């Protein structure tokens, strides 16, 4: 049995314990009151605390612990690519020679004298007019030839004299034209064009004729004659050439091939 005084103390203690949660809530509400904010109710506080407790009961998710790949590991593992060697500069191409263009005023004039019949035909065309077609031209030629045959000899002689005079004038103009520095080149180009279309090339004048490439025999004769003397050099060289072996003749053939290659190059540059 307890004494009355002890009961009173125990009762007071139990009432104090029962009022402890209320006092704790009052203490937690004090900051809100000081700030002038709305104080949460006891039920709301209990709900928040219960939610936090429920969350704490759930197991924590494991974080991935995958190690980050560093860029240094990548670069350290791979060997550095070797530097490509610099390309050597290509040699500059030689400029192609410009094509030789022949203008109308550069062409050589006629150098041969016309025939007496041609002079007679030219006068007839000046009087009656030029033919308009090839058929008319052929008919005109036949008619003119027949008329020229019926002319007296005195008139034929007159036309022949006129033709000779025209020939002299042409020869003088052509001789003047050959003094051009590019006269030989012009003739080479014109002859190359004639050969290309199947026509025969025209022989240049003696002053503009170009020597053909020497043969093996020509080179041997020339060198042998220059060493032994001009009086008996040619005859001795011909007999000595026949005594050469095939190997010795092959050397002269190679020299002739070189000279011919030079000559062909000059001809191609002239085109």
Residue 1's pLDDT band, with cuts at 50, 70 and 90, is very low
Angstrom CA distances, 215 to 97, 249, 251, 256, 258, stand at 29, 11, 12, 5, 10
Confidence of residue 13 (pLDDT cuts 50, 70, 90): very low
Structure tokens at 241: 């050439």
Looking at residue 67, its pLDDT comes to 54
Judge whether 221 and 181 are in contact, CB under 8 Å: no
With vertex at residue 111, the alpha carbon angle to CA 150 and CA 188, rounded to the nearest 5 degrees, is 135
- Please tell me the distance from the alpha carbon of residue 205 to that of residue 184, in angstroms, as a whole number: 10
The string of pLDDT tens digits covering residues 136-163 is 999 999 999 999 999 999 999 999 999 9
**pTM above the 0.85 mark?**
no
Distance CA 171, CA 180 (A): 15
The pLDDT, as a whole number, for residue 6 is: 47
Q: What is the spatial distance between Cα 86 and Cα 69, in angstroms, rounded to a whole number?
A: 36
Q: How far is CA 79 from its chain centroid?
A: 40
Could you tell me if 103 and 182 are in contact, meaning their C-beta atoms sit under 8 angstroms apart?
no
According to the model, what pLDDT value does residue 61 have? 58
């Amino acid at each position: 049995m307890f004494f009355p005084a002890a009961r009173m103390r125990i009762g007071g203690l139990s009432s104090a314990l029962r009022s402890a949660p209320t006092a704790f809530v009052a203490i937690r509400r004090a900051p809100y009151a000081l700030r002038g904010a709305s104080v949460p109710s006891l039920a709301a506080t209990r709900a928040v605390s219960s939610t936090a407790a429920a969350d704490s009961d759930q197991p924590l998710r494991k974080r991935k612990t995958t190690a980050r790949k560093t860029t240094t590991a990548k670069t350290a593992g791979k060997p550095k690519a070797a530097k490509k060697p610099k390309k050597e500069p290509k040699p500059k191409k030689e400029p192609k020679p410009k094509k030789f263009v022949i203008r109308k005023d550069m062409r050589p004039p006629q150098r041969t004298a016309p025939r007496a019949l041609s002079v007679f035909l030219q006068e007839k065309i000046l009087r009656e007019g030029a033919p308009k077609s090839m058929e008319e031209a052929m008919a005109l030629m036949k008619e003119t030839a027949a008329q020229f045959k019926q002319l007296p000899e005195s008139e034929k002689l007159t036309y022949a004299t006129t033709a000779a005079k025209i020939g002299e004038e042409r020869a003088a103009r052509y001789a003047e034209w050959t003094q051009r520095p590019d006269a030989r080149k012009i003739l080479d180009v014109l002859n190359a064009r004639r050969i290309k279309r199947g026509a025969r090339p025209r022989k240049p004048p003696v002053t503009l004729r170009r020597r053909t490439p020497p043969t093996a025999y020509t080179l041997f004769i020339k060198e042998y004659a220059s060493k032994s003397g001009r009086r008996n050099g040619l005859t001795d060289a011909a007999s000595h050439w026949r005594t050469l072996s095939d190997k010795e003749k092959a050397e002269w053939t190679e020299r002739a091939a070189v000279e011919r290659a030079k000559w062909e190059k000059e001809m191609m540059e002239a085109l």
